[in-house]
Structure 1
Amino acid sequence: MLLKIIRFLRGSVDFTASGKFPERFMNITVKNGVNLWNPVPKKNAISASMYLSDYKKIRILSRKSRVKTRITAKHGLPFIINRYKKRTGLFAGAVCGIILCIFLSNFIWSVKISGTEEISNTYLESLLGDNGISVGVWKNNLDTDQIERNIQLKCDDIRWMSINITGSLVTVEVKETYKKPKLDTSKKPCNVKAVKDGVITRIQAYNGRPVVTKGSGVVNGQILVSGLDETKQGDMRYLRANAKVYADITEQQTLSIPKKVTYSYADENYVDRKNFRFLWLDFPCNLAFENYDNFVSTVHGENLFINDVVLPVGLRIRTDRELVTTENSVSKNKAEEIAKADCILYEIFTKNKSKVISKQISVKENKDGYRVTTDYIFNENIADQVDFDVTE
């Protein structure tokens, strides 16, 4: 491979030496230090290859050996330069291109993040940007060790990170902090009390003396499991009571729905605004004169890849969709459907640790709209540890 590169840079020719004694020509050239390769004997002739600089020296040698030489093929950079030497713009463009590539290699073209699970890449990119790492930044002035320390001090969820700059690519590796479960390490005595009114359905006492039974009705603040217990010797001891006490509780949710609802939605009308992106610069690719008074935008784009190398060139498209405002009347059946959807969200996000035993939805119409009432019966843990002083 190296020999091919050298021959390309120096230039070489394929030639034919014809005459009565071509073998004599070969011997003379070797004695004079001329390097030949790929010799092929022919009738009263021989063909071979040599460097361009050596071919200029063999004219005298060919006369001595009484042979005639003729070039059959030319290879290498000198012939390419000679072919295009009158096209100065081509060489100037090549030189400018090389200088531009060297200059652009000092900028960050892409940032790649790996190892995140709980931490969002968007948040981490904002932290990197605050510390000077983003696409289009001059990379030679970046102190990666200091940036790593700054980000770890800013974000407690990162226990280790490494920032590596390879060429124009920044690779960020992150290890997140292990979240330890919260353990009850307090040694103070406490009772387990009810946080809501309800009817007991199940008791799981881990420590302490239960003072209620299954089927008992309890009120908010009532002791369920006592932290005061009597030993076999008749002495009293203080415990840190711990238990899960499940009970059926009642709960009511109300929702007011107007008879006329005004809302906005994204219409089918849209316009794409395309920009050619080079590093941090955006150049418009199309002329989109249409504008909307109210609109919602989505942005997406991709950079050019060559052999998994991200180039600082890409296309960014912003799509603007027109927002249309409309007013609709709400019927009683529609109000009930809205209430059911609201109940589903409430059960998923607010009461996700509770079990729905029953649910009754009632809709009442009034002058301004509808009042929707939902009566629930949930089964959930109503136990809460409450410390007490032994002097009480």
Structure 2
Amino acid sequence: MLISDLLDWLAGYRDAACPAEYAAEICNTVMKNGIDSRGMRRCGDGMLRFSMTDSEYGKLIRLLPEEVVVTERRHGLPYLVYRYRKRIGIPVGLVIFAVLVKLSTLYVWDITVSGNERLSDEEIISSLGDLGFGIGTKIPSVDFYSICHRLVLENDGISWVSVNMIGTTARVEVIELRAKEDINDDGNGTPTNLVAACDGKIVRVETASGRTEVRAGESVKKGQLLVNGVLEIGKEGERGYLPVRSRARVYAETEVRLEAVIPFETVEKTFTGRKNLSKSINFFGKTIKLKENSGILPDGCDIIEDKRRLVLFEGGRLTGGIALPVSIVTGYCEEYRTENVILTEDEALMRAEREMTDMFSSVLSGAEILSVSSEHFAADGEMHLVRTVVCIMNIAEEVPIGISRGSERQ
């Protein structure tokens, strides 16, 4: 779609319309004669509107009365050239533009990332930038093998990466390292035991490596050994021991206490309304300053940067548009002053509820909630919100063998 739309723009196309009474005739003529039209739709004013190239439009009007179809708007290079045909600067500018476009194919215009889940596109692109590869980098000068090798060595979250150039777009494919809690880990590395991170009653055990020391229905205490990383090997009389890295999920019914504390007296920002503005253009990785912040920035200010990539034909007939290696960077510095604020009990409780929501999502992620009890009270100038949660969660905690923790048994 992208290439065909670009060819249509180069050849010229138009938006056309016809009255409602001719709509059926237009549709039949287009289908019967294989005329290519796009975006055919009936609008609120009763008109049937559509777009087609000049060549297809010529076929259509030869088959219909002249008054049936009306051209509403023309688009494309031929109309642009005709409009400015008497201005000599236009063809000269087009030649310069063509030369610049040809030269620009030697540089990276865009970077896309795939295969990442935990790492964001921005983190990976930033890491590549630290290694000297980014938008505006000259393609022939890049050692892609070295870039990929160094990125893997310097980023703990990536196990494999490739960078391939498709035209002027760098396509980065990554394979991330599996999370530490991944039960399918191959078990290599430092020998470890799994111990209970808290008290609980075992519900089920899913062991991938190591020797299970507990069973469903058994109560355990914090620090108790759950999965042993020392395996017995060999025949009787010739027994030996093999230390391995324990891998398992041990689910237990347990009680978790969460507490959010909000002081009644707090310090808050109040913005004065004064702003400083800076603007710059990032062109092929080079920054050109257009406007700088005036004066000395105050101590109390928030600096916000908005970076917007320019996209050719965005929102037009070209599907998705063409991302250009040009970004407009706008920086805002908003001045503020700090004030002491006294919260009411309701306001403090509302903030505690928001904090508690964040704690729930981080501490109890993946847990099966069985029951929740809640209480709140004010004490020592603070609002306390306490929630006691009974849930089923993975309580296994990995510890290196040889380190004693609580009642852990080696």
TM-score, with normalisation over the residues of structure 1?
0.53
Contact kept? 1:193, 1:383, Cα under 8 Å: yes
Distance in 1, matches of 2:126 and 2:350, equals 41
Equivalent residue runs for 1:172-321 within 5 Å: 172-177=171-176, 179=178, 181-182=184-185, 195-198=197-200, 200=201, 202=203, 214=217, 219-220=221-222, 244=250, 246-249=252-255, 251-264=256-269, 273-279=278-284, 280-284=286-290, 293-305=300-312, 310-313=323-326, 315-321=328-334
State the Cα distance separating 1:182 from its structure 2 match. Answer: 2.0
Q: Does 1:362 align with 2:380?
A: no
Partner of 1:29: none
Distance in 1, matches of 2:139 and 2:154, equals 22
Specify the SS of the correspondent of 1:134. coil
Contact kept? 1:110, 1:170, Cα under 8 Å: yes
Q: Deviations over 1:294-333 (max 9, x none)?
A: 1231312222537855545553333444445343212223
Q: Does 1:133 align with 2:133?
A: yes
1:347 is aligned, of 357, 360, 365, to 360
Specify the SS of the correspondent of 1:299. strand
Equivalent residue runs for 1:33-182 within 5 Å: 97=96, 101=100, 104-105=103-104, 108=107, 110-118=109-117, 119-155=119-155, 157-164=158-165, 166=167, 169-177=168-176, 179=178, 181-182=184-185
Distance in 1, matches of 2:293 and 2:133, equals 32
TM-score, with normalisation over the residues of structure 2?
0.51
Paired positions, count: 286
Contact kept? 1:271, 1:321, Cα under 8 Å: yes
Distance in 1, matches of 2:90 and 2:306, equals 40
Gaps of 5+ in 1: 1-83, 228-236
Contact kept? 2:202, 2:250, Cα under 8 Å: no
Contact kept? 2:204, 2:250, Cα under 8 Å: yes
State the Cα distance separating 1:267 from its structure 2 match. Answer: 7.0
Distance in 2, matches of 1:242 and 1:171, equals 40
Distance in 2, matches of 1:304 and 1:241, equals 48
CA 1:303–1:158 in structure 2 vs 1: closer, same or farther (change >3 Å)? farther
CA 1:165–1:341 in structure 2 vs 1: closer, same or farther (change >3 Å)? closer
Which amino acid is the alignment partner of residue 355 of structure 2? D
Q: Deviations over 1:9-47 (max 9, x none)?
A: xxxxxxxxxxxxxxxxxxxxxxxxxxxxxxxxxxxxxxx
Which amino acid is the alignment partner of residue 352 of structure 1? S
Which amino acid is the alignment partner of residue 97 of structure 1? I
Contact kept? 2:196, 2:224, Cα under 8 Å: yes
CA 1:305–1:91 in structure 2 vs 1: closer, same or farther (change >3 Å)? closer
Q: Deviations over 1:199-244 (max 9, x none)?
A: x374568886867x85x765445678999xxxxxxxxx99x99884
Distance in 2, matches of 1:381 and 1:90, equals 71
State the Cα distance separating 1:349 from its structure 2 match. Answer: 0.5
Q: Deviations over 1:266-297 (max 9, x none)?
A: 67665654444544132427997897651231
Distance in 2, matches of 1:94 and 1:208, equals 76
Gaps of 5+ in 2: 1-85, 230-238, 241-245, 403-409
Which amino acid is the alignment partner of residue 160 of structure 2? R
Which of structures 1 and 2 has the bigger CA Rg?
1
Partner of 1:328: 341
CA 1:208–1:124 in structure 2 vs 1: closer, same or farther (change >3 Å)? closer
Which amino acid is the alignment partner of residue 196 of structure 1? C
Distance in 2, matches of 1:226 and 1:139, equals 53
Higher relative contact order (CA 8 A, sep 6+): 2
Contact kept? 1:299, 1:316, Cα under 8 Å: yes
Specify the SS of the correspondent of 1:301. strand
Distance in 2, matches of 1:95 and 1:346, equals 59
The Cα RMSD (Å) is 5.2
State the Cα distance separating 1:113 from its structure 2 match. Answer: 1.8
Contact kept? 1:106, 1:140, Cα under 8 Å: no
State the Cα distance separating 1:347 from its structure 2 match. Answer: 1.7
Contact kept? 1:114, 1:173, Cα under 8 Å: yes
Specify the SS of the correspondent of 2:122. helix
CA 1:281–1:384 in structure 2 vs 1: closer, same or farther (change >3 Å)? closer
